[in-house]
Structure 1
Amino acid sequence: MSAKPEVGLVREASRQIVAGGSAGLVEICLMHPLDVVKTRFQIQRYATDPNSYKSLGDSFRMIFRTEGLFGFYKGILPPILAETPKRAVKFFTFEQYKKLLGYVSLSPALTFAIAGLGSGLTEAIVVNPFEVVKVGLQANRNTFTEQPSTLSYARQIIKKEGLGLQGLNKGFTATLGRHGVFNMVYFGFYYNVKNIIPVNKDPTLEFLRKFGIGLLSGTIASVINIPFDGAVMLLVYEYTYSWLQENW
């Protein structure tokens, strides 16, 4: 009798991982150019630097002119490799933390927020090494064919700085803050608002209800999360800048 729930749990987990991983892959492919531009703005050292971007439009023009179309896809491999395990950890641990918090007398609102915080902190452990490599590749302004491969750049970091907090896990505390705060705000807001707004019987309206709540949740979480994201970029870029100076 106990085997059936276990099979159902595995099937549900597999479905969530496949669906989440597929959605994440599409999201990365569509949004990575904006992520490259965001990273470039975050790591600009001086406004007076002749190589600094003056505006969003200027950044797109300069990247396309000097690095080509593929310049917008620098560093895309690390997030692709991290996406499926990241999504799996994010949603699986959220559910587990939520179950554990069920043994404590907490309000539903607080339960969702704390479970989200826990899932974000756990997710950061998986994401951080990939983030370090991604930022380094995105920061490189050479043409796509001239920049190091993902594997060779990761090897350089490990060889020079190791796997610790000064190497492949540089900026780890900021990454903990970024993912912890984002998931806390996102899950806390999403599930609480979702439970307040009535379910609609019309499939289209119900989709729009969930989409709207998700969009608003993600927007609020992203705005609150900007300082942590900026800190991650700057901490990781310290190594990248010295590496570029030595090798290019």
Structure 2
Amino acid sequence: MTDAKPLPFVYQFAAGAVAGISEILVMYPLDVVKTRMQLQVSGGSGPQYNGVVDCLKQIVAKDGFSRLYKGISSPVVMEAPKRATKFACNDEFQKIYKREFGVEKLTQGLSILSGASAGCCEAFVVVPFELVKIRLQDASSTYAGPIDVVRKIIQKEGVLAMYNGLESTLWRHGVWNAGYFGIIFQVRSLLPEAKTKSKQTANDLLAGTIGGTIGSLMSTPFDVVKSRVQNTAVVAGQARKYNWSWPSLFTIYNEEGFRALYKGFVPKVLRLGPGGGILLVVFTGVMDFFRSVHYKD
């Protein structure tokens, strides 16, 4: 993330895992709301939500409070490799690009490039977990749990269907990470240098929150498409309404209007704005701890 003393990949991976699990345990209900709103087709037969609060009320009233954590086992299992891959790959790409471009200090351009590259790597890790989560979070879901989702998808759609939505996930994660890490670099450069640990934490929380917010603004249309693609079963010989990102974007725009491309944006930004701050603070804190252990005399 910065030009601080480098650490081996294993430390970066572990710090990213801790950060990711911390964030998901706090913010998961908003992810359920985001998915429900993204799967809602205007004028469709399914539940219709008027906003975040209305969605929360309907879910709790119909299915109980526990439904807000339905499917959390999949993202909890996913968060360790997902966030670990994000931060570890971002740090590694920063080193690679600084070396390849012949610069000693990180620039905002290289931060954006490193973030986008890390996001693409992250996408390959998360697709099966995201697929399971989306199927479980759907209001019409009849699956018994994550294992049941995997078993039925493989039986009915084939093994390769577990990577349904890979292309849209690459777009989502590449764009989000480019915005997230690029904005973090810019905000950090504008903030006064932190003289104390508490001030550094405050700076990281602010930078991460702004980065998460901008990343969400940039990536939400691809997130909407990804949710639609992954919630559409693969049926042999049958064309899928939502398949590739850009055609799906135009389909949603033509049928439901521009606002439909930002369905779920409010819960997404409420989660990934503060969630981005939590990620950065925890990751930086754990990395500082690892440095104190690794470089101790």
What TM-score results when the alignment is normalised by the length of structure 1? 0.83
Consecutive unaligned residues of structure 2, counting only runs of 5 or more, are 1-5, 235-297
Runs of 4+ in 1 over 6 A off after TM superposition: none
Q: 8 Å contact 1:128–1:172 — kept in the other structure?
A: yes
Q: In structure 2, which of residues 196, 207, 210 is the aligned counterpart of residue 213 of structure 1? A: 207
2:161 matched to 1:162? no
Q: Deviations over 1:50-73 (max 9, x none)?
A: 632233222222211211111111
Q: In structure 2, do the counterparts of structure 1 residues 63 and 206 end up closer, same or farther at CA, with 3 Å as the change threshold?
A: same
Contact conserved, 1:21 with 1:87, CA < 8 A, in 2?
Answer: yes
Mark the CA change 1:159 to 1:215 in structure 2 (over 3 Å): closer, same or farther.
Answer: same
Distance 1:53 1:117 in 2: 33
Q: Structure 1 residues 220, 50: CA separation in 2 closer, same or farther (over 3 Å shift)?
A: closer
5+ long unaligned stretches in structure 1: 1-7, 241-248
- Which of 214, 227, 241 is equivalent to 2:221? 227
Residues 50/109 of structure 1: CA separation in 2 closer, same or farther (3 Å cut): closer
AA partner of residue 53 (structure 2): G
In the alignment, is residue 72 of structure 1 matched against residue 68 of structure 2?
yes
- SS of residue matched to 1:238: coil
- Give the alignment of 1:183-198 within 5 angstroms: 183-198=177-192
Q: Describe the shift of the 1:149–1:48 C-alpha distance in structure 2 as closer, same or farther (beyond 3 A).
A: closer
CA contact (8 A) 1:28 1:80 kept: yes
Q: Mean Cα displacement is larger for which, 117-126 or 48-57?
A: 48-57
**1:95 aligned to which of 84, 91, 96:** 91
C-alpha contact (below 8 Å) 2:59/2:67 kept by paired residues: yes
Q: Which amino acid aligns with 2:29?
A: P
Give 1:194 deviation, angstroms: 1.4
Q: Per-residue displacement from partner, 1:18-41 (whole Å, max 9, x unpaired)?
A: 333233223212211111111111
Deviation at 1:47, TM superposition (A): 3.3
Q: Tell me, in whole angstroms, the C-alpha distance in 2 between the residues paired with 1:148 and 1:228.
A: 28
Is residue 83 from structure 1 mapped to residue 79 from structure 2 by the alignment?
A: yes
Counterpart residue number, 2:237: none
**Letter of the 1:26 counterpart:** S
Q: Distance in 2 between matches of 1:74 and 1:132?
A: 14
Aligned counterpart, 1:125: 124
1:182-239: CA deviation from partner (whole Å, max 9, x where unpaired): 1111111212331343312133223212211111111111111110111101111112
User: Contact 1:36–1:73 at 8 Å: present in 2 too?
Assistant: yes
Letter of the 1:137 counterpart? L
